[in-house]
């Protein structure tokens, strides 16, 4: 077993000897970390084997739809046990299986401690997509290159790894290389992730030609705005140029059944992305633009926290916030925007309906409330957005005797993605949900994991609770700064003998 030198034993300033000792401590720590990663990869593979053994026992007593894939069960177990996201846990499981069942050369480097864990996971997950008939040649090519680089102290970048794989696959099988290009094109997508301080990250995966054209359009618009006198930095102008692409204008060509105008054969009800005039102030998207482009009302949810002494907040579909003042200003300055308001009462159970309580189907309004509370799938480490999740009863609904089963009310409903919904239904863990949405999962191994809701409704409640707690504490603090008895509580008699 490798022993990592203690830095406390190294003098702070001792010339070359001290520098060598500190450098060796760092190298030893890195080796130990890599070997720990090797053990975790092995454990991931062993956990899959354990769940596979249980699955074989279940074959005789479970129907096909109720059987759970061992890989998925291992992923969900590791997500909670190792504090990983579901995505990272899934990659850990894939890498563990690949390294110990299909990639002997990668396994040798892992067990030497030469490969850092994340690099090993990335390498194994990439090789998992390589066909069996060429994986040996590709693995040999990649590991030879990597060994030389890592032993020389040079860790390759992600773009360099991409080029290594492209070269290796093209050498081994040109058709497979083209198939990989076609498969990657099928995975094109655009996603948005809410950030902090009123910002969000827009992320796209596009074919390189399309990405190049879009980039040129954004760059050109930003440069025109700069030439026309905008003082803002070029990065900000690029961002403004991208936002300006969302500006819509009506086109009057052919009619459509909705009573408005329709452009050509498109189904956008007469609205299309316009060629906007560029200047120092690039056009910005508005609520009116979005309503016109969608051809339907824009739904805006407002968490009504004002009654509890907190500011109202505007909630967008993707879980991002904006201020209530922004909404008012937008409506005052905007065009004839069609907007539908939904005022959300943050009080727990405010939308529970006695008539709905004994019905299995969750009403759309209650389902939306649960999604606003949870934000994402409630399984530890899972980030599937609530709008893409099932609304599941924590205590199962009794269809034969509804009064005896789990009621359809807020405290008994939660968001689970389809994968984790199946895990809850057919797995062996138990689930407990608190009144405010805190979920406790007890696994088959006896471990307890807790998740809290992260949606805007839960955040509004946290803010209200924090304010109420501050007020309660402030009432307990006397003028001299000490905690006093609560109002209405009789003070104790402290004149007795404390030594007893």
Q: Nearest-CA neighbor of 37 among 100, 121, 122, 106?
A: 121
Among 18-22, 326-330, 351-355, 462-466, which range has the highest average pLDDT? 351-355
Domain end call among 131, 158, 186: 186
- Using CA atoms, how far apart are residues 131 and 176, in angstroms rounded to an integer? 8
> Using a CB cutoff of 8 Å and minimum separation of 24, what contacts does 248-252 make?
248/272, 248/273, 248/274, 248/289, 248/292, 248/293, 249/274, 250/292
Question: Containing H/E element for 383?
Answer: none
Cα separation, 90 vs 350, in Å, equals 38
Residue 116 inside a domain? The answer is yes
Per-state percent for the chain, helix, strand, coil, to nearest 5: 50, 15, 35
User: Looking at residue 252, what is its pLDDT?
Assistant: 43
The reply to whether 152 falls in a domain is yes
419 assigned to some structural domain? yes
List, for residues 443-469, the tens digit of each pLDDT value: 888 889 999 998 888 888 877 776 666
pLDDT at 39 over 70: yes
Last residue of a domain, one of 167, 186, 205: 186
In a domain, 378, yes or no: yes
Considering the domain boundaries, does residue 459 fall inside one? no
Helices H, strands E: what count in the chain? 16, 15
- pLDDT, tens only, 387-429: 889 999 999 999 888 888 889 999 999 999 999 999 999 888 9
pLDDT-based confidence at residue 96 (cuts at 50, 70, 90):
very high
The confidence band for 99, taking pLDDT boundaries of 50, 70 and 90, is very high
Q: What is the pTM of this model?
A: 0.69
Q: What is the mean pLDDT of residues 280-306?
A: 64
Q: Which two tokens stand for residue 16?
A: 């070359």
Write down which residue in 155, 186, 217 finishes a domain. 186
Burial of 82 (0-12, 13-18, 19+ CB in 10 A): middle
For the residues 341-356, what does the mean pLDDT come to? 83
Residue pair 74/93 in contact (Cβ under 8 Å)? The answer is yes
pLDDT above 50 for 261? no
Residue 255 in domain: no
Query: What pLDDT is recorded for position 292?
Result: 59
Which phi and psi angles does 269 have, rounded to 5°?
55, 45
Interior CA angle at 443 toward 441 and 445, to 5°? 150
What is the tally of structural domains in the chain?
A: 2
- Give 163's pLDDT tier (boundaries 50, 70, 90): confident
pLDDT digits (tens, 9 = 90+) for 45-93: 999 999 998 876 665 555 666 778 899 999 999 999 999 999 999 999 9
Q: Between β-strands 313-315 and 298-303, what pairing exists: parallel, antiparallel or unpaired?
A: antiparallel
Q: Is 114 inside a domain boundary?
A: yes
At residue 124, the 3 state secondary structure works out as: helix
Bridge partner list, 340? 299
Q: Which domain holds residue 71?
A: 7-186
Residue 432 lies in a domain: yes
Classify residue 349 by its DSSP letter: T
């Amino acid at each position: 077993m490798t022993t990592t030198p203690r830095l406390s034993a190294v003098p702070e300033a001792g010339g070359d000897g001290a520098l060598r000792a500190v450098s060796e401590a760092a190298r030893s720590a890195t080796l130990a970390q890599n070997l720990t990663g090797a053990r975790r990869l092995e454990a991931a593979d062993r956990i899959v084997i354990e769940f596979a053994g249980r699955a074989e026992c279940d074959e005789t007593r479970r129907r096909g739809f109720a059987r759970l894939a061992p890989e998925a069960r291992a992923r969900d177990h590791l997500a909670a046990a190792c504090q990983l996201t579901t995505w990272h846990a899934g990659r850990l499981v894939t890498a563990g299986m690949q390294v110990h069942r299909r990639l002997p050369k990668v396994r040798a480097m892992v067990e030497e401690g030469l490969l850092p864990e994340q690099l090993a996971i990335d390498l194994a997950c990439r090789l998992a997509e390589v066909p069996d008939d060429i994986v040996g040649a590709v693995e040999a090519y990649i590991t030879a290159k990597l060994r030389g680089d890592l032993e020389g102290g040079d860790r390759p970048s992600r773009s360099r790894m991409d080029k290594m794989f492209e070269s290796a696959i093209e050498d081994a099988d040109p058709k497979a290389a083209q198939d990989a290009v076609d498969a990657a094109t099928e995975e094109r997508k655009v996603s948005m992730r809410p950030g902090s301080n009123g910002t969000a990250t827009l992320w796209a995966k596009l074919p390189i030609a399309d990405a190049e054209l879009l980039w040129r359009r954004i760059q050109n618009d930003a440069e025109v705005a700069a030439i026309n006198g905008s003082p803002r930095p070029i990065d900000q102008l690029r961002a403004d140029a991208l936002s300006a692409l969302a500006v819509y204008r009506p086109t009057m060509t052919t009619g459509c059944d909705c009573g408005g105008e329709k452009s050509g054969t498109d189904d956008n009800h007469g609205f299309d992305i316009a060629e906007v005039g560029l200047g120092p102030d690039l056009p910005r998207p508005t609520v009116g633009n979005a309503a016109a482009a969608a051809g339907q009302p824009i739904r805006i949810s407002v968490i009504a926290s004002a009654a509890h002494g907190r500011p109202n907040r505007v909630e967008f579909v993707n879980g991002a916030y904006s201020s209530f003042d922004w909404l008012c200003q937008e409506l005052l300055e905007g065009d004839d925007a069609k907007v539908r308001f939904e005022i959300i009462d943050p009080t727990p159970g405010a939308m529970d309906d006695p008539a709905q309580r004994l019905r299995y189907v969750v009403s759309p309004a209650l389902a939306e409330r649960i999604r606003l509370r949870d934000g994402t799938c409630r399984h530890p480490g899972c980030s599937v957005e609530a709008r893409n999740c099932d609304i599941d009863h924590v205590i199962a609904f009794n269809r034969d005797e509804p009064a005896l089963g789990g009621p359809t009310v807020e405290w008994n409903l939660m968001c689970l993605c389809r994968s984790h919904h199946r895990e809850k239904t057919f797995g062996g863990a138990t689930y407990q949900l608190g009144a405010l949405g805190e979920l406790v999962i007890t696994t088959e191994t006896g471990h307890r994991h807790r998740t809290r809701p992260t949606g805007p409704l839960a955040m509004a409640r946290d803010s209200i609770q924090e304010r109420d707690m501050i007020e309660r504490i402030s009432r307990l603090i006397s003028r001299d700064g000490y905690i006093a008895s609560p109002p209405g509580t009789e003070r104790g008699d402290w004149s007795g003998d404390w030594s007893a």
